[in-house]
DNA sequence: TCTAACCTGATC
DNA sequence: GATCAGGTTAGA
């Protein structure tokens, strides 16, 4: 469920509740969901929470003493802070006791989510973090162009690749492509410079608006305090197949791409089937990129 | 580069 | 009873 805007919203909620607190004990109720690395024995009095960060869809809770708790919510993971008297929800797999008597709880019906407590350098050195692409807000058109250059795959597949850019999932890939007016199946390496600029602006704009809206709640996602997100109301295409496009009124379509449901407007996001590569054999270099009609 | 697998629950 | 779901990854 959670993509960058949802995880960012959770990180902000956690900061408000967890910064400066001490985590006294971390208990797993189901094997495998939580792993604990070397060198992270609990100090007397617990770990003080020093900062809470996010890389892509991964939460990073930095703890006193050089340890770090990473949390990946995957599809249905959810964090909340509860009074100890609050009933333990089904599928509560990890509980951490806080020094004010409350509990940080991790609930995840599908059990895809993962928590790892380890030395900071070990956590930051995991293959996942080492190979993770840049944050979307750190990318400009030139940097994105470089990352799309050698990719012949459909644009949506490339946006979903966390090594290309971190944090974009199925919802926001569709929303960003609509905002940019680009077809999900457009080969990534065939974008014109102008289209890449528009794509970067769309990426920044959609993600910023989604963070401001507290993320999208389709079914499971909740903020720390249990409230739903609000951005689903603003979705232009995701979950709106068969409904009229908000821009042109055409019936929105849904198809399958990269094994994921893909939503788009066939009129606002036309597919350029054959994209002429810029000719490179004629001597005078003139054309940089001209729009090719279908 | 694509598919299957990891899981449960909601919906058809 | 079958199908689908917002993520990631191992293996074909």
Q: What is the pLDDT of residues A223-276, one digit of tens each?
A: 999 999 999 999 999 999 999 999 999 999 999 999 999 999 999 999 986 555
Largest Cα separation within chain A, whole Å, is 77
Q: Is the CB of A152 under 7 A from strand B?
A: yes
Query: Does the CB of A37 fall within 7 Å of any strand B atom?
Result: no
Q: How far is the CA of A48 from the C1' of B2 (A)?
A: 44
Give residue-wise pLDDT tens across range A89-111.
999 999 999 999 999 999 999 99
What residues of A are annotated to the active site?
2-3, 57, 260
Closest residue to B5 by CA to C1' distance?
A: A112
C1' (C9) to CA (A81) span, angstroms: 30
How do residues A107-155 score in pLDDT, each as one tens digit?
Answer: 999 999 999 999 999 999 999 999 999 999 999 999 999 999 989 999 9
Residue nearest to nucleotide B8 (CA to C1'): A110
| DSSP line for A253-264 | EEEEETTEEEEE
Q: How far is the CA of A178 from the C1' of B6 (A)?
A: 31
Closest by CA to A69, choosing from A92, A27, A36, A99, is: A36
Q: CA-to-CA distance for A136 and A131, rounded, in angstroms?
A: 15
Angle at A7 between CA A228 and CA A169, to 5 degrees: 95
CA A160 → C1' C11, Å?
20
Mean pLDDT confidence for A198-211: 98
Q: How many other C-beta atoms lie within 10 A of the C-beta of residue A45?
A: 10
Give the pLDDT mean for A23-28: 94
Nucleic chain B: which protein residues 103-142 of A have CB below 7 A from it? 109-112
A242 sits within 7 Å of strand B by its CB: no
Query: In angstroms, how far is B4 C1' from A258 CA?
Result: 13
How many residues are present in chain A? Answer: 294
* Digit-coded pLDDT (tens) for A172-197: 999 999 999 999 999 999 999 999 99
Residues 193-232 of chain A with CB under 7 A from strand B are 219
Confidence at A277, pLDDT banded by 50, 70, 90: low
Q: Is the CB of A112 under 7 A from strand C?
A: yes
Mean pLDDT of A39-66: 96
């Amino acid at each position: 469920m959670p993509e960058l805007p949802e995880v960012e919203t959770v990180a902000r909620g956690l900061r408000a509740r967890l910064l400066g607190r001490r985590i006294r004990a971390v208990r797993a109720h189901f094997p495998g969901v939580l792993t604990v690395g070397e060198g992270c024995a609990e100090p007397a009095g617990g770990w003080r929470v020093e900062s809470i960060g996010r890389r892509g869809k991964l939460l990073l809770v930095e703890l006193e003493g050089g340890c770090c708790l990473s949390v990946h919510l995957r599809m249905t993971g959810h964090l909340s802070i509860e009074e100890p008297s609050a009933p333990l929800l089904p599928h509560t797999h990890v509980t951490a006791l806080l020094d004010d008597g409350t509990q940080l709880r991790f609930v995840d019906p599908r059990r895809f989510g993962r928590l790892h407590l380890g030395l900071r350098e070990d956590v930051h050195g995991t293959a996942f973090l080492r190979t993770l692409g840049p944050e979307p807000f750190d990318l400009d058109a030139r940097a994105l162009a470089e990352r799309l250059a050698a990719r012949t795959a459909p644009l949506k597949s490339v946006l979903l690749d966390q090594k290309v850019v971190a944090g974009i999932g199925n919802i926001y890939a569709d929303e960003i492509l609509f905002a940019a007016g680009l077809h999900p199946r457009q080969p990534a390496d065939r974008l014109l410079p102008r289209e890449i600029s528009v794509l970067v602006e769309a990426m920044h704009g959609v993600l910023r608006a989604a963070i401001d809206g507290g993320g999208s709640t389709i079914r499971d996602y909740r903020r720390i305090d249990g409230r739903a997100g609000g951005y689903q109301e603003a979705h232009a295409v995701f979950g709106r197949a068969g409904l009229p496009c908000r821009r042109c009124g055409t019936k929105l379509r849904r198809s399958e791409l990269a094994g994921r449901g893909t939503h788009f407007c066939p009129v606002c996001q036309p597919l350029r089937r054959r994209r002429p590569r810029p000719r490179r054999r004629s001597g005078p270099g003139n054309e940089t990129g001209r729009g090719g009609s279908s």
